[in-house]
């Protein structure tokens, strides 16, 4: 491209979009110290300003093809990137660190003896009650809860009307509720 010092910023950015390293070196020379000064005037320490300036110009290298000269001047685009990088730095530094002792970060406790016993009792009771259900109700419940099929998929699989599938599930739940009680049904559905 020859002597790049006479090229406009727009022409340099177009060349950078084509991965022209000499055009990038020219643009870097024009903007690196200006970006650093801009960031420092905004109250950023010199070391951070150096880092931000480098990040900004690396972003220019990577995203030059996204620049639209109809929307902004090259300098406006570059300084907008710099401003955003500075804001990102401030956010990273002011974001509170997560507390590792926060209950949200702790694993759920292992079930105690009573919980394990209750879960086993519920499973045994559930198997007994499922055996009492008519086969047509048991089949749709198995398809819904164990196979994970939707009502429409069950209807298609069993060649039944959708309303029939829903009715059988409702009847099965009515029987289960009568046999298990609401408390055990809730425990079953929550697992």
Last residue of a domain, one of 94, 123, 146: 94
Q: Measured in whole angstroms, how far is the alpha carbon of residue 55 from the centre of its chain?
A: 25
CATH number, domain containing residue 152: 1.10.10.10
* pLDDT reported for residue 187: 54
Q: Are residues 119 and 85 in the same domain?
A: no
HSE value, Cβ hemisphere, 13 Å, CA-based, for 39: 32
* pLDDT reported for residue 70: 93
User: What sign results for the dihedral spanned by CA atoms 146, 149, 152, 156?
Assistant: negative
Contact predicate 133/175, CB 8 Å: yes
Q: How far apart are CA 174 and CA 106, in angstroms?
A: 38
Domain that holds residue 173: 113-190
Q: Within 10 A of 82 (CB to CB), how many other CB atoms are there?
A: 26
Stated length of the chain: 191
Q: Are residues 133 and 185 in the same domain?
A: yes
pLDDT tens-place values along the chain, 191 residues long: 467 788 899 999 999 999 999 999 999 999 999 999 999 999 989 999 999 999 999 999 999 999 999 999 999 999 999 999 999 988 888 877 777 777 777 787 766 655 555 667 777 877 888 888 899 998 998 898 888 899 999 999 889 999 999 999 999 888 888 877 766 555 555 55
* pLDDT reported for residue 3: 78
Q: Are residues 135 and 64 in the same domain?
A: no
Q: Are residues 35 and 76 in the same domain?
A: yes
Q: How far apart are CA 75 and CA 77, in angstroms?
A: 5
* Helix, strand, coil percentages in the chain from 3-state DSSP, rounded to 5: 75, 0, 25
**Hey, what's the torsion of the CAs at 114, 115, 118, 124, to 10 degrees?**
-120
* pLDDT reported for residue 95: 78
Last residue of a domain, one of 64, 94, 124: 94
107 is a domain residue:
no
* pLDDT reported for residue 117: 57
* pLDDT reported for residue 145: 82
Dmax (CA) for the chain in angstroms is 90
């Amino acid at each position: 491209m020859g002597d790049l010092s006479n090229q406009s910023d727009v022409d340099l950015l177009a060349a950078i979009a084509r991965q022209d390293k000499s055009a990038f070196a020219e643009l870097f020379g024009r903007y690196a110290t200006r970006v650093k000064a801009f960031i420092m005037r905004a109250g950023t320490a010199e070391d951070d300003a150096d880092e931000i300036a480098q990040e900004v110009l690396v972003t220019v290298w990577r995203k030059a093809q996204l620049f639209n000269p109809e929307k902004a001047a090259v300098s406006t685009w570059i300084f907008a990137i710099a401003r955003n990088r500075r804001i990102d730095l401030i956010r990273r530094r002011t974001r509170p660190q997560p507390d590792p002792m926060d209950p949200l970060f702790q694993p759920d406790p292992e079930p105690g003896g009573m919980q394990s016993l209750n879960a086993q009792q519920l499973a045994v009771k559930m198997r007994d009650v499922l055996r009492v259900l008519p086969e047509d109700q048991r089949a749709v419940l198995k398809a819904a809860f164990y196979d994970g099929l939707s009502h429409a998929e069950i209807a298609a699989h069993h060649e039944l009307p959708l309303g029939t599938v829903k009715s059988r599930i409702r009847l099965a739940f009515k029987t289960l509720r009568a046999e298990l009680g609401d408390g055990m049904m809730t425990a079953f559905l929550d697992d």
